[in-house]
């Protein structure tokens, strides 16, 4: 009877889109031959080697089938003597910098990886080595700079802004042969969508795959010729065809000529730099870890090194971020229930938990809460969920103080608006003594939940990102890193992980020795791909790789970033700064130039964009930059009279909204919003100065006022006496009840200027369309959604020209 009941419940979950939606391939089952029966470890370090590396590599589907005694040397997983295996592995590992270990590099190059991603295998082995090194107290290696390839700046080509050449040469091949997968409407859609029916969209995602300086290195060519990816005839022939198409574009694009007035450093591309070490994070109790390095395919790998790996399978509309990360537009990334079970087991063993994520919410209007990270079976049954409700982070945790849904939730304060649509480091901790705490960007938000014990966790749930298992809590945004720990991180450990940052980073050493007559001298920047469209440059410093000192005084002034043969028109954080160094200054250690950073737009992509520095003054060289000269334009004044209508400036807009809504301008959320966007609001009453950015600021202020008004039960009942805010939109805002929202809004906000007011029927039609769009949620909208729709309708009227124009 019990078995039959479980089967019925499982079928019900499947029918409702529960956690059993999909199952990944189960982890390998180790046979008894992997149990070590040889000589005992002679030292503690040998024992740590066995526990952290040997035990994980000895399986036959990893290294155990070859690197055994009497088989293929080196014998680092031999089963007869762990001490001899230890001696064999030492030349292959670097505990100070695990990623540089010969063992890791070998697997990263494709040698016997047991996963579909060589990078994931290499990262997993690196984690096992870090675990070994942490127990062996190995000192972390410092990044070692090496002299880069010397490039003369300007001798490069850049793809034009227009897709014309691409449309004529490469796009026809992509549309003919790649359309079955690389389009968003394909049956099994595979990003990037370079065969999209929209040629402009296809061109944008193809730019990073085309190398005009060396067409043979283009990813579109390499995927066919070297990786044999879905060739349509013979791979060598198909690669040659694609190469000819890219060469045709390259031949039509001229080399960028360098301005002779510039004082340039030598040039670099991103991959000419030194990869910054990703070490330094606190990871001692990490049980699931995702860096989203994959860049392609539909899997994100758990490289925590804790078996079984809870690898995520991604479904729906998503994009990979080039600087490591996953952008979720719809759908979710989900682990199997079998591999996710380790979370329930290991967290249950300690009673402590930390959920750590680097995220970029797509907007600040998502709610539900929208599920960023969830270990759950549905929206009403979970172990934990990190979610978003507009400007708030929410943490729902099943404990002895909550129900099965994790309610009551721990949420950041509405007035603080902690959540922003920008890159944020979010950490949630739970332990039986301190309860739940929430940190954002290394700072304690101050919100607390009483001490409670984690209990009754369901090990049949699945870990997922971007939604709940039943599909009812879609979240949109990007996840750059996710780590789950079975200990509550301390404030110091959280600050440490925040300071390390996220994503792939490089040190780019720009050669300036030829400008100051001191060979091997460089200005070094820390550089990261901020997202798919931009680079982050920060913290430049001066250094000499031979340890030489400055032979004379040195002034560096007017330093500017340049790319693809020209100085950039924006993002010049250092162009007004000047740094001086005295004669004899030692350059053995880095000499800081500035703590500033800047973001610049990508042009041809990380594989092709070439950077260099340009100086107003360095050593004996100088360049006096002139202001740009624009051709005179003949302006014909047709009518010199000013407009009969004007717009309210910032103070009048704030006062008008306060008067109309009866919400005080000192309301904390309103005051904070107003202070933030004041400079973006109109400063003049001249309507000819009005721009779209000002309307966005007016809308933000309108949202703040409407949010405050409708959250106030007294004002809400005064405004909408007949609207049932405890009902779902399907009932409260049905066709029969719709006017209980629309009529009070128009009566309150619209009749300011009857002579010029919008036609009543037109206004009602617009609001009806808005309510219809916001009410479409497949029958899952609750009463909270009714309030959200009311706020949106309120903002649409309050922030309109009715209030602004006079």
pLDDT range class, residue 137, cuts 50, 70, 90 = low
CB proximity list for 45: less than 8 A, separation 6 or greater? 86, 136
Structure confidence at residue 594 (pLDDT): 93
Residue with more model confidence, 780 or 490? 490
User: Residue 643 class from Cβ within 10 Å (0-12 exposed, 13-18 middle, 19+ buried)?
Assistant: exposed
Residue with more model confidence, 613 or 256? 613
Structure confidence at residue 97 (pLDDT): 80
- What's the order of all strands across the beta sheet hosting 617-618? 578-581, 554-557, 617-618, 621-622
Residue among 615, 611, 603 at smallest CA distance from 579: 615
Q: What is the mean pLDDT of residues 650-670?
A: 90
Residues facing 581 on adjacent strands: 554
Tokens coding 768:
């009806």
Structure confidence at residue 627 (pLDDT): 58
440 pLDDT more than 90: yes
Q: What is the mean pLDDT of residues 755-771?
A: 82
Give CA angle at 228 (226, 233), nearest 5°.
120
pLDDT range class, residue 631, cuts 50, 70, 90 = very low
- In this predicted structure, which of 12-21, 61-70, 338-347, 509-518 has the lowest mean pLDDT? 12-21
Structure confidence at residue 533 (pLDDT): 78
Q: What is the mean pLDDT of residues 617-626?
A: 86
764 touches 771 (CB < 8 A): no
pLDDT range class, residue 754, cuts 50, 70, 90 = low
Q: What is the mean pLDDT of residues 159-177?
A: 92
CB proximity list for 726: less than 8 A, separation 6 or greater? 783
Radius of gyration of the CA atoms of the chain, in A: 30
Cα–Cα dist 427/633, whole Å: 56
Q: What is the mean pLDDT of residues 707-728?
A: 92
Structure confidence at residue 243 (pLDDT): 94
Q: What is the mean pLDDT of residues 608-619?
A: 92
Percent of the chain with pLDDT over 90: 44
Structure confidence at residue 639 (pLDDT): 52
Q: What is the mean pLDDT of residues 433-461?
A: 91
pLDDT in tens, 771-800: 888 888 776 788 888 999 999 999 999 888
Residue with more model confidence, 717 or 676? 717
Structure confidence at residue 748 (pLDDT): 87
pTM attached to this predicted model: 0.60
Structure confidence at residue 752 (pLDDT): 57
- Residue position matching structure tokens 């717009």: 647
Q: Taking each helix axis as running N to C, give the angle between helix 783-798 and helix 692-711, from 0 to 180 degrees, rounded to the nearest 10.
A: 140
pLDDT in tens, 295-354: 888 999 999 999 999 999 999 999 898 888 999 999 999 999 999 999 999 999 899 999
Give CA angle at 609 (121, 517), nearest 5°.
105
Cα–Cα dist 414/398, whole Å: 23
- In this predicted structure, which of 223-232, 385-394, 512-521 has the lowest mean pLDDT? 223-232
Structure confidence at residue 630 (pLDDT): 42
2 pLDDT more than 80: no
pLDDT in tens, 280-296: 788 889 999 999 988 88
Structure confidence at residue 522 (pLDDT): 96
Q: What is the mean pLDDT of residues 624-644?
A: 54
Cα–Cα dist 142/587, whole Å: 17
189 pLDDT more than 80: no
CB proximity list for 208: less than 8 A, separation 6 or greater? 219, 322, 604, 605, 606, 607, 608
Structure confidence at residue 22 (pLDDT): 35
Q: What is the mean pLDDT of residues 614-618?
A: 95
pLDDT range class, residue 755, cuts 50, 70, 90 = low
Residue-averaged pLDDT of the chain = 85
Structure confidence at residue 6 (pLDDT): 33
Residue with more model confidence, 145 or 53? 53
pLDDT in tens, 239-279: 999 999 999 999 998 877 788 899 999 999 888 888 776 56
- In this predicted structure, which of 37-41, 168-172, 410-414, 689-693 has the lowest mean pLDDT? 689-693
Residue with more model confidence, 717 or 686? 717
pLDDT in tens, 522-548: 999 999 888 777 899 999 999 999 999
**Strand ranges inside 473-582, DSSP E:** 477-485, 505-511, 521-531, 534-544, 554-557, 560-563, 566-567, 578-581
pLDDT in tens, 673-683: 888 787 778 88
Structure confidence at residue 521 (pLDDT): 96
Cα–Cα dist 424/318, whole Å: 20
Cα–Cα dist 529/110, whole Å: 25
């Amino acid at each position: 009877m019990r078995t039959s009941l479980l089967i019925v419940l499982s079928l019900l979950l499947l029918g409702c889109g529960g956690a059993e939606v999909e199952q990944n391939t189960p982890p390998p089952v180790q046979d008894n031959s992997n149990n070590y029966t040889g000589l005992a470890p002679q030292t503690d370090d040998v024992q740590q080697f066995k526990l952290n590396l040997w035990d994980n590599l000895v399986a036959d589907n990893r290294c155990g089938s070859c690197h055994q005694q009497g088989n293929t040397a080196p014998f680092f997983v031999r089963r007869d003597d762990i001490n001899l295996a230890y001696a064999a592995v030492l030349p292959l590992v670097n505990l100070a910098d695990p990623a540089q270990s010969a063992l890791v590099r070998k697997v990263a190059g494709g040698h016997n990886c047991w996963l579909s991603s060589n990078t994931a295998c290499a990262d997993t082995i690196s984690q096992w080595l870090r675990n070994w090194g942490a127990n062996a107290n190995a000192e972390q290696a410092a990044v070692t700079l090496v002299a880069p390839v010397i490039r003369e700046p300007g001798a490069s080509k850049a793809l034009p802004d227009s897709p014309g050449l691409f449309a004529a040469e490469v796009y026809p091949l992509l549309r003919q042969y790649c359309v079955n997968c690389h389009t968003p409407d394909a049956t099994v859609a595979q990003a990037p969508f370079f065969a999209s029916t929209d040629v402009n969209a296809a061109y944008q995602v193809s730019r990073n795959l085309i190398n005009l300086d060396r067409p043979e290195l283009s990813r579109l060519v390499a995927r066919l010729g070297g990786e044999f990816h879905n060739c349509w005839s013979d791979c060598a022939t198909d690669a040659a065809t694609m190469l000819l198409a890219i060469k045709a574009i390259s031949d039509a694009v001229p080399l960028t000529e360098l301005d002779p007035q510039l004082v340039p450093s030598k040039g670099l591309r991103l991959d000419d730099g030194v990869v910054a070490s990703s070490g330094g994070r606190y990871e001692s109790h990490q049980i699931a870890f995702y860096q989203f390095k994959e860049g392609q395919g539909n899997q994100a790998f758990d490289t925590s090194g804790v078996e079984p790996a809870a690898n995520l399978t991604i479904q729906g509309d998503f994009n990979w971020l080039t600087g490591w990360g996953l952008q979720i537009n719809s759908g979710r990334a989900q682990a199997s229930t079998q591999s996710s079970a380790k979370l329930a087991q290991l967290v249950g063993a300690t009673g402590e938990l930390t959920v750590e994520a680097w995220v970029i919410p797509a907007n600040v209007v998502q709610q539900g809460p929208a599920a960023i990270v969830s270990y759950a079976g549905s929206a009403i049954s979970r172990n934990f969920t990190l979610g978003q409700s507009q400007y708030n982070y929410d943490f729902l945790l099943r404990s002895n103080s909550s129900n099965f849904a994790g309610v009551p939730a721990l949420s950041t304060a509405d007035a603080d608006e902690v959540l922003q649509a920008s890159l944020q480091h979010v950490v949630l901790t739970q332990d039986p003594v301190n309860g739940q705490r929430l940190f954002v960007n290394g700072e304690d938000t101050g919100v607390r939940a009483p001490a409670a014990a984690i209990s009754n966790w369901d090990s049949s749930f699945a870990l997922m990102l971007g939604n709940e298992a039943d599909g009812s809590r879609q979240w949109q945004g990007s996840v750059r890193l996710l780590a789950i720990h079975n200990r509550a991180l301390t404030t110091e450990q959280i600050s440490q992980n925040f300071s390390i940052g996220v994503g792939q980073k490089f040190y780019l050493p720009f050669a300036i020795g030829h400008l100051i007559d001191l060979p091997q001298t460089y200005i070094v920047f820390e550089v990261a791909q901020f997202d798919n469209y931009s680079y982050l440059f920060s913290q430049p410093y001066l250094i000499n790789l031979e340890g030489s000192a400055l032979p004379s005084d040195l002034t560096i002034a007017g330093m500017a970033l340049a790319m693809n043969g020209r100085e950039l028109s924006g993002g010049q954080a250092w162009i007004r700064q000047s740094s001086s160094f005295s004669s004899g200054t030692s350059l053995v250690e880095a000499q800081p130039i500035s703590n500033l950073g800047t973001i610049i737009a990508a042009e041809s992509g990380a594989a092709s964009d070439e950077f260099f520095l340009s100086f107003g003054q360095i050593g004996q060289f100088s360049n006096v930059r002139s202001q740009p000269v624009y051709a005179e334009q003949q302006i014909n004044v047709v009518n010199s009279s000013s407009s009969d209508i004007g717009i309210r400036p910032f103070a009048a807009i704030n006062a008008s909204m306060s008067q109309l809504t009866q919400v005080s301008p000192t309301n904390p959320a309103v005051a904070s919003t107003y202070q933030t966007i004041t400079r973006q609001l109109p400063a003049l009453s001249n309507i000819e100065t009005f721009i779209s950015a000002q309307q966005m600021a007016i809308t933000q202020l309108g949202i703040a006022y409407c949010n405050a008004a409708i959250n106030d039960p007294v004002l809400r009942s005064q405004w909408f006496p007949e609207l049932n805010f405890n009902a779902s939109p399907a009932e409260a805002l049905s066709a029969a009840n719709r006017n209980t929202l629309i009529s009070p809004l128009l009566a309150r906000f619209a009749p300011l200027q009857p002579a010029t007011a919008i036609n009543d029927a037109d206004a009602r039609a617009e609001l009806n369309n808005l309510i219809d769009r916001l009410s479409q949620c497949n029958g899952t909208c609750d009463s909270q959604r009714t309030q959200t729709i009311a706020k949106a309708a309120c903002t649409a009227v309050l922030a309109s020209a009715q209030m602004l124009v006079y």
